Amino acid sequence: MERPEINKFDHIALHVQDVPASIHFYQQVLGLELLPRPNFDFEGAWFLVGDRELHLIGNRTEKHLSGSRSNHFAFVVNSLSNWESWFQQQNYPYRPPKSRPDGIRQLFLEDPDGYTIELSEKPT
């Protein structure tokens, strides 16, 4: 039998402590679109990220490991300068942009639970 194929990456799920605080961050700070969510028996929220989704699952109590050289996820953006200005305007902490050895610029920030998020700008 041949190995079956995977069609596409669908979503990432994060276990969060405070769903309303996380909704505020992902909707208001990062500008993601809040999606309708099935009526599960646990708190959470879903967001659209391009043609994929980010799912938040509430009531996290355990610790997690996250960092720029550890567990993290990344979004591609058009302009890190615009994002840097936005974070400064919002008084939201982030690590200033730097270039990787391959020339791709990136910056890092954390969500309310301490999950590390990378924003990267592809060279044109």
pLDDT band with cut points at 50, 70 and 90 for residue 7: confident
Mind listing the pLDDT tens digit for each residue in 94-118? 999 999 998 899 999 999 999 999 9
- Write down the pLDDT at residue 124: 64
Q: What is the mean pLDDT of the chain?
A: 92
Higher pLDDT, residue 61 or 50 = 50
Tokens at 24, concatenated: 């505020």
For the chain, how far is it from start to end, CA to CA, in angstroms? 43
| Mean pLDDT of the region 59-79 | 86
Select from 79, 64, 76, 78 the least CA-distant residue to 111: 64
Helix, coil or strand: residue 15: strand
* CA separation for the pair 23, 19 (Å, rounded): 6
pLDDT at 87: 94
Better-predicted residue by pLDDT, 56 or 68: 56
Residue 107 and residue 94 in contact, taking contact as beta carbons nearer than 8 Å? yes
